[in-house]
Amino acid sequence: MRRYLAPAAFLLVATVAVLLVRSGLRSGHHPRHDSAPPARTTTTVARTVTVTKRYWVVRAGDTFGVISARTGVPLATLQKLNPNVKPTALFIGQRIRLR
């Protein structure tokens, strides 16, 4: 049992170090959404409404629940805006529509 103690302690310290470095790199990161050019729609009263689409770029560990909590967009809205996306199979780099 004692011969496994040193490698296990090293693995624990290395894991904590990696997590600290990753969190430090993320804190200086730019916001994770892209803004597409505004889409223009006209109504019958000749009023123009501008709608800006927003996206979230999926990173490791993201789920619809995490994205919902970080952006404030309700989970049901995320599922409605992304009908072709399986919430259980998100890919790193995938764009998720927020509005």
Q: Closest Cα to residue 68, out of 54, 83, 59, 56?
A: 56
The confidence score (pLDDT) of residue 57 equals: 92
The confidence score (pLDDT) of residue 37 equals: 61
Q: Closest Cα to residue 99, out of 38, 44, 41?
A: 38
- For residues 54 and 67, what is the distance between their CA atoms, to the nearest angstrom? 13
96 pLDDT more than 80: yes
- For residues 96 and 67, what is the distance between their CA atoms, to the nearest angstrom? 9
Rg, the chain, Cα only = 20
Per-residue pLDDT, averaged over 33-46, amounts to: 60
- Going from N- to C-terminal start, the domains of the chain cover 1-30, 31-99
Q: Is 45 helix (H, G, I), strand (E, B) or coil?
A: coil
Average confidence score pLDDT of the chain: 78
86 pLDDT more than 70: yes
The confidence score (pLDDT) of residue 11 equals: 77
Third-level CATH fold of 31-99: Membrane-bound Lytic Murein Transglycosylase D; Chain A (3.10.350)
Which DSSP helix (H) or strand (E) runs through 79?
helix 75-81
Per-residue pLDDT, averaged over 57-83, amounts to: 91
Q: Which two tokens stand for residue 66?
A: 């995490």
Does pTM top 0.85 for this prediction?
Answer: no
